[in-house]
Structure 1
Amino acid sequence: MTKKAYLVGAGPGDVEYLTVKAYRLLASAEVLIYDALVDAELLDLVPGNCLKINVGKRGGKPSTPQGEINSLLVKYCRKNQQVVRLKSGDPFIFGRCLSEIEALKAAGCEFEVIPGISSALAAPLLAGIPLTDTVLSRCFAVFTGHELDALNWEALSRLETLVILMGAKNLEHIVHQLLRYGKLHSTPIAIIRWTGTPNQEIWIGELSNILTKTQGLSLSPAVIVIGGVVGLRKFL
């Protein structure tokens, strides 16, 4: 296997959702640079002499500056070591890969991106919520809970199904904007915390009452699903 930097998706949580290719790369890694949301059991898959570097990258918590992460990737790649940059979910779904790839390319380092299962897809499925349905949901949109004022809420409110990552802290703002632009108060909503792990929790409600139902609770890290398909959970 060619030594280079591998940007690897770890999937939604549990080690069981890791891809076979990701598993093989971890088993031969010489340097592991990993995010905070990675399942701790994944760290046991690397060889005993593998250098493990925790770079954080978890909302609201201290984390390593992106520039420093880029430098670490280049540093160990230039030493001709097999580097695995392990990210939660899928590297290209809000994984901040562009900066790291640009740094590797500028340094002449080879790299490869390995897909993972995004929590945007896995969380609804593991909660028994299909994102598409021939009647209730002919499309869905995925966005994050960051920079919410930059979004076109009028357009989003017309879509049948919405999936929001990293949005728990801004739940009140999200609900307010959707109601403001025409979503019905009775629109179903699900909040799925720690998806794909033994600690998974699910809250079900409507836009009109979800804030009351979750008041005072710790919801992060969570995936939020909004739309009629949430109502299918009771049948599935």
Structure 2
Amino acid sequence: MKKTDSKNIPTHKPRPMVDLLVSIVIPSVILMKFSGDHDLGAANALILALAFPIGWGLFELVKYRKVNFIAILGLVSVLLTGGIGLLALDVKWLAIKEAAIPAVIGLAVLISTFTRYPLIKTLIYNPLILNVEKIEQKLQESGNLAEFESRLLKATYFLSGTFGFSAAMNYLLAKWVVTSPAGSVAFNEELGQMTLLSYPVIAIPSTLMMMAIVYYLWRTINSMTGLALEEVMVSAQQKRG
């Protein structure tokens, strides 16, 4: 049996607009406009809407051979949403589920601070994004390595806090928007509304918080090493190498 040549696996290129369309816009439109008895029906509309993010996630997994902890949690989240709707469970479980996924990630980030591998080094401060070797060499030369590690730990707490914010907002949004019994047409319509609202209410503020953390990390690196931005960031040529 031949082993898969890693060189034949295409490089994953982020496509935020496609992700937004497939994972949020199309499912939301299906749930809000095609859940009626004269259209697809509540159950069929929910299955079709969930098929888009599930199918897209599996497609990227198969094509790029990339297993991502957060992506897996997202897939589990979609499957749980489908289960709540199709099994007509109490709607309170939707709010709990919406809060549980980011809460688990935030908790994992927090717990990682007690290990040798804090998750911020996987998510932000990693060799695929930053020239970690050069940064640490400069930190050792300037005697700032211990202080940098302290600030990196603080950035990890900030990162955990962004997921805590997301968990709280997810819960409140689900409780506010989705009030109809699971499995009903109204439930599907409210689920679509919640999915659309989650982008401006939760995703955008969370992204801004993440950008603030990245900026804090960059300012720390710049002040402690004197390195310019182009010296810190990994170039496309280095990534290929």
Q: Same fold (TM over 0.5)?
A: no
Report the structure, 1 or 2, having the larger strand content. Answer: 1
Query: TM-score under structure 2 normalisation?
Result: 0.28
Report the structure, 1 or 2, having the larger helix content. Answer: 2
Bigger RCO of structures 1 and 2 (CA < 8 A, at least 6 apart): 2
Q: Name which one, 1 or 2, has greater alpha-carbon Rg.
A: 2
